[in-house]
Amino acid sequence: MSKTLIVLNAGSSSIKFVVFDVTEGKPVNMATGQVEGLGASVSRFTAKDGEGQSLGEKDFDKASGAISTHTQAVDLILKWIDDTFPGTEVVAVGHRVVHGGVRFTKPVQINDDVVAALEELTPLAPLHQPHNVAGIRAAQAAFPGVPQVAVFDTSFHRGHPFVNDTFAIPREYYNEGVRRYGFHGVSYEYVTRRLKQIAPLDAEGRVVIAHLGNGASMCAVRYGHSIASTMGFSALDGLPMGTRCGNLDAGVLLYLLDQKGLSSSEIREILYSKSGLLGLSGISQDMRELEASDKREAREAIDYFVFRVRREVGALSAALDGLDAMVFCGGIGENSWRVRERVLQGMQWIGIDLDEEANHRNARLISSPLSRVRVYIVRTNEGLMIAEHTLTVLGLAAPEIQAFSADGTAAQRPSA
Ligand code: ADP
């Protein structure tokens, strides 16, 4: 009987999943899919195989049985796996969890104490954490007795020096957890490990990674460990995103509250869902649509995005005392040669010389042989990272994966 591992990423209205064959202790992607539209009048199940070919899709409405809870969605996924891959045993479930607070500096096997601790972190990530916990509970009910592991988006950043972990507000807030946690850590860890395989010397140096997707952030990595991130207390800070504002003067919040009389939920809606590329362009949150548009507002939204990324290349290089390599990942970072070209143009001052032709091809190395700083594109794979951590935590990983994971997740705290 073959062995299967499932990775779940539970959001407010969707659950994404990846199914891996782990019979040999190394995750092999069998299927990726999602249930979206939880609680909506129509929910949709889709799944693809490891090559991206459709394995099935189905809509659910009132007549065919609406999917309104995480439990129903997980049950649906489980049934689909049973039907599609008969004769396989689910041996583990790995969960992507947005917030690990200061306690969880590496992946952990889930038990009642861990679930309670994750729930306690809800005030730090009220839009995400409750759904992650609901996904864990649903999976515990659907796979009784199957070990489950939580992998955190914050862990990779927990070794930040104090200056990159705090805000300059009264210290009591830092002590109660108002810190610069940083997110996208699962992606950054995966990319850092891939870089070790692709370019081991660069991976040992000073690296800026730009995860540019619908959510976007950048991270400064030194000797394989994160020392600074553009995201802070929440996933709002730093770069502008599809619909999130990015870096914002706190005075703007006071203005919206005091002068415009907006409520906190109205402000939340603006900052999370109506800002970023969508808010600036008034057209779309999608970079492809903006690149295809000839409207001035679309161009200005891209200009702002590119400008902020360029600023952060400089800022994070300063935090690293220099730059040896840069990596692009995420939907925009991996696919938009235009954005990469504009970010990297005129960066000879920092040692970057772009190979335009390689950049057009989305090649792995896009800097020219003259470039002192190497620039790479690495396709991120958060599902695989979570699967490897899950196997390692449970002692089910093949020796080479165990060895790789033995590095630990969070850095030793370096001096500032
Ligand atoms: P998420 O953060 O939701 O995982 P992705 O990493 O998939 O998002 O990134 C989605 C973004 O990537 C969208 O803005 C999309 O337009 C952009 N994108 C994907 N492919 C391309 C492309 N070929 N050219 C430009 N942008 C692209």
CB of 288 within 6 A of ligand 1: the answer is yes
Q: What pLDDT is attached to residue 1?
A: 86
Q: Which two tokens stand for residue 378?
A: 């690495």
Q: What pLDDT is attached to residue 69?
A: 92
Distance from the alpha carbon of residue 192 to the mean position of ligand 1, in angstroms: 21
Question: How far apart, in Å, are the Cα atoms of 238 and each of 36, 244, 250?
Answer: 28, 10, 13
Sheet with strand 88-97: strands edge to edge: 54-60, 43-49, 28-36, 14-21, 2-10, 88-97, 148-152, 108-109
For residue 397, the Cα-to-chain-centroid distance in whole angstroms is 23
Task: Name residue, tokens 């190395």.
Answer: 365
- Is 213 annotated to bind a ligand? Reply is yes
Task: Name residue, tokens 């952990």.
Answer: 108
Domains of the chain by residue range? 2-152+382-402, 199-377
Distance from the alpha carbon of residue 329 to the mean position of ligand 1, in angstroms: 10
Ligand 1 atom showing the smallest separation from residue 288 Cα: 16
- Considering only CA atoms, which of 103, 189, 190, 107 is closest in space to residue 151? 107
Q: Which two tokens stand for residue 394?
A: 């449970």
CB of 291 within 6 A of ligand 1: the answer is yes
Distance from the alpha carbon of residue 130 to the mean position of ligand 1, in angstroms: 26
Counting ligand 1 atoms within 8 A of each CB, the residue from 332, 334, 338, 381 with the most, and so the one to mutate, is 332
Distance from the alpha carbon of residue 328 to the mean position of ligand 1, in angstroms: 12
Alpha carbons 320 and 315: distance in angstroms, whole number: 9
- Among protein residues, the one with the nearest Cα to ligand 1's atom 21 is 335
Give pTM, 2 decimals.
0.94
Counting ligand 1 atoms within 8 A of each CB, the residue from 336, 340, 341, 343 with the most, and so the one to mutate, is 336
- Among protein residues, the one with the nearest Cα to ligand 1's atom 19 is 331
CB atoms within 10 A of CB 153: 27
Q: Which two tokens stand for residue 141?
A: 């009910």
- Is 286 annotated to bind a ligand? Reply is yes
Task: Name residue, tokens 């040692």.
Answer: 351
**Catalytic sites, residue numbers:** 153
- Is 16 annotated to bind a ligand? Reply is yes
Ligand 1 atom showing the smallest separation from residue 380 Cα: 6
| ∠ Cα 144 404 206 (to 5°) | 125
- Spell out the per-residue pLDDT of the chain, length 416, in tens: 899 999 999 998 899 999 999 999 999 999 999 999 998 899 999 999 989 999 999 999 888 888 999 999 999 999 999 999 999 999 999 999 999 999 999 999 999 999 999 999 999 999 899 999 999 999 999 999 999 999 999 999 999 999 999 999 999 999 999 999 999 999 999 999 999 999 999 999 999 999 999 999 999 999 999 999 999 999 999 999 999 999 999 999 999 999 999 999 999 999 999 999 999 999 999 999 999 999 999 999 999 999 999 999 999 999 999 999 999 999 999 999 999 999 999 999 999 999 999 999 999 999 999 999 999 999 999 999 999 999 999 999 988 887 766 554 443 333 33
Q: What pLDDT is attached to residue 399?
A: 85
Alpha carbons 93 and 78: distance in angstroms, whole number: 11
Alpha carbons 134 and 9: distance in angstroms, whole number: 11
Same CATH topology for 2-152+382-402 and 199-377?
yes
Q: Exposure of 352 by Cβ count < 10 A (0-12 exposed, 13-18 middle, 19+ buried)?
A: buried
Q: What pLDDT is attached to residue 412?
A: 36
Q: Which two tokens stand for residue 1?
A: 């009987």
Ligand 1 atom showing the smallest separation from residue 216 Cα: 2
Distance from the alpha carbon of residue 331 to the mean position of ligand 1, in angstroms: 3
Name residues whose C-beta falls within 8 Å of residue 11's C-beta, 6 or more positions apart in sequence. Answer: 128, 131
CB of 290 within 6 A of ligand 1: the answer is no
Q: What pLDDT is attached to residue 39?
A: 85
CB atoms within 10 A of CB 242: 20
- Is 287 annotated to bind a ligand? Reply is yes
Question: Looking at domain 199-377, what is its CATH homologous superfamily?
Answer: ATPase, nucleotide binding domain (3.30.420.40)
CB of 215 within 6 A of ligand 1: the answer is yes
Counting ligand 1 atoms within 8 A of each CB, the residue from 13, 48, 128, 288 with the most, and so the one to mutate, is 288
Q: What CATH topology corresponds to 2-152+382-402?
A: Nucleotidyltransferase; domain 5 (3.30.420)
Distance from the alpha carbon of residue 364 to the mean position of ligand 1, in angstroms: 18
The answer to whether the Cα torsion of 134, 136, 138, 141 is positive or negative is: negative
